[in-house]
Amino acid sequence: MSKAVTIILQITGLYIIYLLGTLIQNTFNLFIPGSVIGLVILFALLSLKIVPEHWFKQGVGFMIKHLPFFFIPATVGVMSYAYVFEGKGVLLILIGLLSTALVMGISGFVAQWMARRREAAHE
Amino acid sequence: MSSLLPASFIIILTILIYQGALFIYRRFRRIYTAPIILSTVTIIILLLLFGLSYDTYMLGGKWIDYLLGPAVVALAFPLYQYRDLLKRMLLPILVGTSVGAFIGVTSGLLLSKWAGFSELIIHSIVPKSVTTPVAMSIAESSGGVMPLAAVFVMIAGIGGVLIHPVVMRFSRLTHPLGKGVGMGSASHAIGTATSMERDPLEGSVSTIAMVLSAVLVSILAPGLTILFM
């Protein structure tokens, strides 16, 4: 099988798992999105050895290598709401950035501190 | 189908712009040339230049958007590959992400309240650090506006990618575990995509942080909103 066909087939497999996740979300009215439920399903399938790694390896490699590409349509959507940030609205961008910086810096710092302690304890 | 031609044109153009952005990023390695930022800005400028709306772009864009779901599913794979290490480091990831979820909700809420914005806007900004569909449902159930919540999610995502080199230097994040938890907690899947590009271990940590964060923020947001409003 050519590489392109393999990748397309494997991405179709990922899509089916995604649809299954969406189905579960809708059936049980969950707040977790179908894609995240699909992520958990694939992790379980791999961990329980129900599907072998090579079933998804190439398709996954392709998707992850180009992950930012799949976000482009979503991020371009910001243009429709540019008006929110007129005048005083500019403050909202600053608030969003400040809050994001706080989350990133502090959560990462705490995790790193704990991780280093565990590593030190192991040695 | 009359929309087939513009749709293919938009898809091909998006691929070309992304490839161009990738080329520029590999050459200059500056964060504002990150493919997601450069591609988004280029496409928005082109649309504005030709007077085209977002709906027109989505004639083709929706086909790329359909692949976002399976792309998130694909993140399970590196997670599986690093499962032993991640299992050992689950506690640091869990604690770091919980702290992040708490800070994200309270700081967004208090800052926008302090600046005097309406409740509608405050409720839309609160869930910004989690992935779009979750953020929209949290905002909706507390009285925010769904599309506005999605815009704040993008600010946290794109903004996080843009400021992360400075933030990481400032908080001395050098370990893949600290970097991954920071990116996943603050900038959800867009941050995870950036982490994954740099280091698959950091990306896997970011994936877990992103998933945990979605759950934690959905649980924390309603309570904290009542407490602080």
3-state SS, chain B, equals CCCHHHHHHHHHHHHHHHHHHHHHHHHHCCHHHCHHHHHHHHHHHHHHHCCCCHHHHHHHHHHHHCCHHHHHHHCHHHHHHCHHHHHHCHHHHHHHHHHHHHHHHHHHHHHHHHCCCCHHHHHHHCCCCCCHHHHHHHHHHHCCCHHHHHHHHHHHHHHHHHHHHHHHHHCCCCCHHHHHHHHHHHHHHHHHHHHHHHCHHHHHHHHHHHHHHHHHHHHHHHHHHHHHC
Q: Domain check: are B103 and B48 in the same one?
A: no
B23 within some domain:
yes
Q: How far is CA B13 from CA A9, A72, B7, B17, B42, in A?
A: 25, 12, 10, 6, 11
B144 within some domain:
yes
- CA of A12 vs chain B CAs: smallest distance (Å): 8
- CA of B65 vs chain A CAs: smallest distance (Å): 6
Q: Domain check: are B113 and B190 in the same one?
A: yes
B193 within some domain:
yes
Q: Which of B48, B66, B84 is the last residue of a domain?
A: B66
The domain tally of chain B equals 2
Q: Domain check: are B82 and B102 in the same one?
A: yes
> What are the tens digits of pLDDT across the range A76-87?
988 888 888 888
pLDDT reported for residue B223:
87
Say whether pLDDT at A12 is over 80.
Answer: yes
The DSSP string of B25-39 is HHHH--GGG-HHHHH
Q: Domain check: are A2 and A53 in the same one?
A: yes
Question: Does residue B123 sit in helix, strand or coil?
Answer: helix
Q: Domain check: are B50 and B19 in the same one?
A: yes
A55 within some domain:
yes
Mutate to test the interface with B, among A14, A25, A40, A107 (most CBs of B within 10 A): A107
Q: Domain check: are B95 and B62 in the same one?
A: no
Identify the domain containing residue B9 by its residue range.
Answer: 4-66
Q: What is the ipTM of this complex?
A: 0.90
Q: Domain check: are A61 and A84 in the same one?
A: no
> What are the tens digits of pLDDT across the range B166-219?
999 999 999 999 999 999 999 999 999 999 988 999 999 999 999 999 989 988
Mutate to test the interface with A, among B39, B73, B217 (most CBs of A within 10 A): B73
> What are the tens digits of pLDDT across the range A71-123?
899 889 888 888 888 888 899 999 999 999 999 999 999 999 999 998 888 76
A26 within some domain:
yes
Q: Domain check: are A58 and A7 in the same one?
A: yes
Minimal Cβ distance to B67: which of A56, A70, A113: A70
Q: Which of B29, B44, B66 is the last residue of a domain?
A: B66
A95 within some domain:
yes
Say whether pLDDT at B129 is over 90.
Answer: yes
Identify the domain containing residue A19 by its residue range.
Answer: 1-65
Q: Domain check: are B191 and B87 in the same one?
A: yes
Minimal Cβ distance to A118: which of B64, B92, B100: B92
The domain tally of chain A equals 2
Q: Which of A65, A88, A109 is the last residue of a domain?
A: A65
Cross-chain residue pair B148–A68, CB shorter than 8 Å: no
Q: Domain check: are A46 and A105 in the same one?
A: no
Q: What distance in Å separates the CA atoms of residue A20 and residue A2, rounded to the nearest whole number?
A: 27
Q: Domain check: are A61 and A1 in the same one?
A: yes
A35 within some domain:
yes
Tokens of B157: 């995502």
Tokens of B162: 């843009």
DSSP code at position B229: -
pLDDT reported for residue A2:
86
B90 within some domain:
yes
Is B21 in contact with B35 (CB distance < 8 Å)? yes
Cross-chain residue pair A108–B168, CB shorter than 8 Å: yes
A30 within some domain:
yes
Cross-chain residue pair A14–B70, CB shorter than 8 Å: yes
Q: Domain check: are A6 and A48 in the same one?
A: yes
Q: Domain check: are B13 and B125 in the same one?
A: no
Give the sign of the dihedral formed by CA A107, CA A108, CA A112, CA A113.
Answer: negative
Is B171 in contact with B186 (CB distance < 8 Å)? no
A71 within some domain:
no
- CA of B143 vs chain A CAs: smallest distance (Å): 16
